[in-house]
Amino acid sequence: MKILLAVDGSRYARAAARFLARFLPGPGKHVDVMAVAPPAPSSPHPHYGPARELRAHWRTEAAGWVNFTARTLASRGYDVRRIVRTGQAARSITARAAEESYDLVVTGVKGRTAAPFFEIGSVALAVLEHVPASVLLVREIEAGSRRQQVTREIRPLRVLIPVDGHAHSLAAIDRFLAWFREPHLEVHVVSAHDAAAEELLALLTGDEARVLRSKLEHAMRLRLHEAVNRLVPHGIAATSGVLEGRPADAVVAAAAAMNTDVIVLGSHGIRPAGERRLGSVALEIARTAPCTVLLVRET
C-alpha cells in the first residue's frame, strides 16, 4: 500500500500522523511524508531579510516537520520517504498525488464548513476535490479533559457508513476493512433518499406519495441489508437505519448525534482541474462532517 501524508507542522498534521500510525498498521506499507515550504516574496521586506535566507529558513522548517513525522511512522514499521518542496502547498501536493499511483492521500483538517472555500483549509479542500486517489481527512477532536480523552481511547472506534445503492459505496466498505486494523469497531450503516427522490416526493400527495415512499424505503432496506451482510464475515455485527431529509445534512447530523469517529464514503470521481464547485453528496459530507472522513474513490 502506498500513502502520501501531507504535513505542515500544525497540530492537525500531527493528529493525522497519529491516526495513521494507530489505525493503519505500518508493516508492508510505504508512506511519502511531504511538506511544502512557501516561496520567498518576490520583493525584499525589511523585517524578513534577504529572500535567499528566508527560502533556506522555510526549507529547514519544512524538513523538520517531515523528519519529526517520519521518525514516528518509521517506529511503527512504515517504509518512509521524506519529500520537501517549495511552492504553493495545495498545488504541489495535488500535483504529486497525480504523478504517483497512491492508494491513499492523508491530510489533517482544521475545521468544517458548509461554504466551499473556508475553514476546511486550502490543502484539504484541494486534496478532497482533485486528488485521484482515496483520501483520509483526519479531524482532531479536542477533549475537554484528560478523563474524556482516556474514554475516547478505550471505547470502540465508532464508524458510520452511508450507502446509496451504488457499487462504490459498497466498495468503500471492502477498502475500509482491508486497510484499517482496529479490533473494537462499532459500525452503523445508514441510507437516505437521494435528492431527486426527495424532490419528487414533495410534488406528490395522497396515495401516490405513500406508494413511492414505500418503494423507496424498501429499496433502502435492501441496500442496508446488503451492506450489513458485507461486514458479517469480518465478525462485525453492524446496526443500520434509514435517514430522513436531505442526504448530506442527514448523514452529518447522524454522525454528530452518534459521536462518530470515522465516516466511510464511496465516491466515483474527482473534480476536473479548474472546476471549483462542489456538488457531490460524498464531497459535501466530507467537507462538513464533524469527524474524520475516509473517502474511497473508485479506481
Q: Parse the chain into domains and list their residue ranges.
A: 1-140, 154-299
Largest Cα span, the chain: 76
Q: What is the pLDDT of residues 220-264, one digit of tens each?
A: 888 899 999 999 999 998 999 988 878 889 999 999 999 999 999
Counting residues of the chain whose pLDDT is more than 90, the rounded percentage is 45
Is residue 61 packed enough to be buried (19+ CB in 10 Å), middle (13-18) or exposed (0-12)? middle
Tell me the one-letter amino acid at 223. Answer: R
Which grid cell sits at 211? 406508494
- Tell me whether the CATH fold assigned to 1-140 matches the one assigned to 154-299: yes
Is residue 207 packed enough to be buried (19+ CB in 10 Å), middle (13-18) or exposed (0-12)? exposed
- The domain 1-140 having CATH identifier 3.20.20.80: the answer here is no
Q: How high is the pLDDT of residue 188?
A: 96
Q: What is the mean pLDDT of the chain?
A: 83
Q: How high is the pLDDT of residue 223?
A: 87
Q: How high is the pLDDT of residue 66?
A: 96
CB contact burial 155-178 (16+ within 10 A = b; e otherwise): eebbbbbbbbeeebbbbbbebbbe
Q: What is the pLDDT of residues 98-137, one digit of tens each?
A: 999 899 999 998 755 444 444 557 788 888 888 889 999 9
How does residue 175 score in pLDDT terms, banded at 50, 70 and 90?
Answer: very high
Q: pLDDT: is 285 or 245 the higher one?
A: 285
Residue 79 has pLDDT above 70, yes or no: yes
Residue 40 has pLDDT above 70, yes or no: no
Average pLDDT in the 25-53 region? 77
How does residue 13 score in pLDDT terms, banded at 50, 70 and 90?
Answer: very high
Distance of alpha carbon 220 from alpha carbon 214, whole angstroms: 10
Q: How high is the pLDDT of residue 145?
A: 40
How does residue 152 score in pLDDT terms, banded at 50, 70 and 90?
Answer: low
CA 165 to centroid of chain Cα atoms? 21
Give the global pTM: 0.84
Which grid cell sits at 135? 483520501
Q: How high is the pLDDT of residue 283?
A: 85
Range among 107-121, 124-138, 199-213, 265-279 with highest mean pLDDT value: 124-138
Question: Which residues have a Cβ under 8 Å from the Cβ of 126 and sit 6 or more positions away?
Answer: 90, 91, 93, 94
DSSP 169-192: HHHHHHHHHHH---S-EEEEEEEE
Residue 56 has pLDDT above 50, yes or no: yes
How does residue 95 score in pLDDT terms, banded at 50, 70 and 90?
Answer: very high
Q: What CATH topology corresponds to 154-299?
A: Rossmann fold (3.40.50)
Q: How far is CA 223 from CA 17, 71, 241, in A?
A: 34, 43, 11
Q: How high is the pLDDT of residue 80?
A: 96
Distance of alpha carbon 14 from alpha carbon 240, whole angstroms: 33
